[in-house]
Structure 1
């Protein structure tokens, strides 16, 4: 199954702050917030931080980086062929880096596929119910891609 990915991070090249996966079939979404070890960039402080909790309480999950990696592996563990879809290359890079739990360790995940889709003229933030919230942006991406495929 496809999972539409969005991440929020602390400025260009910055640390991962939140990650969301919105499954194409509308089943339970995944959302995690990873506390920053440094102060957020000013733009991030204004446009991202205030919206990190703007998700249903049952989906809000705050974990350290290693715990988040294991949690994502558990979330995807029942799918024999998960495909992660993103419209921004840094989201894929952040997702992959998160799976590394130590210098030579990776979470227990058997296989993953990634699909990068350019979405010219479409902005997840402009079309999101809560702009710059990874969960709402991932849902926006999912809805857009499914709509244009029909």
Structure 2
């Protein structure tokens, strides 16, 4: 099954704030709790353009400590024998992979996973209610763009 991935993070190379996967079988939208986000030295652009959009109509996150993201991803993918995650930005894949690591030499158990990085323009999106810079809406917009360009997948 194909899943589009988007993450919001604290500026270029910054800490993960939220992560979303959108696929035909369902969606997963995770966000760190305010206590963890408050502890970060947030980039002003992120404070203004990302934080206010974490919990919006049509995109309510599951709020978990970052250390619990891997187990949530594991549970989400458990019934898919061959998940393929597609992203349009390398850092999104980096953050996803970091979430799967539990400790040195230990990772969550997930099915064989294929990752794909594609240069796809997902904005502007024709999705009704779409909100850019919200990880779930961005993952949905990417999924929509991939659907429109199905021949490229």
Contact persistence 2:19–2:29 (CA under 8 A) = yes
TM-score scaled by length of structure 2: 0.87
Question: Which is worse superposed, 102-111 or 62-71?
Answer: 102-111
TM-score scaled by length of structure 1: 0.89
Question: How far apart are the structure 1 equivalents of 2:61 and 2:49?
Answer: 19
- Please name the residue that 2:75 is paired with: 74
Question: Which is worse superposed, 48-57 or 133-142?
Answer: 48-57
Tell me the matched-pair count. Answer: 144
> Secondary structure of 1:109's match?
coil
- Please name the residue that 1:13 is paired with: 13
Which one of the candidate residues 22, 26, 40 is aligned to 1:28? Answer: 26
Question: How far apart are the structure 2 equivalents of 1:91 and 1:55?
Answer: 23
What residue ranges of structure 2 are gaps of 5+ in the alignment? none
What residue ranges of structure 1 are gaps of 5+ in the alignment? none
The RMSD of aligned alpha carbons is 1.7
Give CA deviations for 1:9-62 in whole Å, capped at 9, x if unaligned.
000100010000010x2x3211000243413110000000000011547x5201
Aligned ranges 1:31-50 → 2 under 5 Å: 31-34=29-32, 35-36=36-37, 37-50=39-52
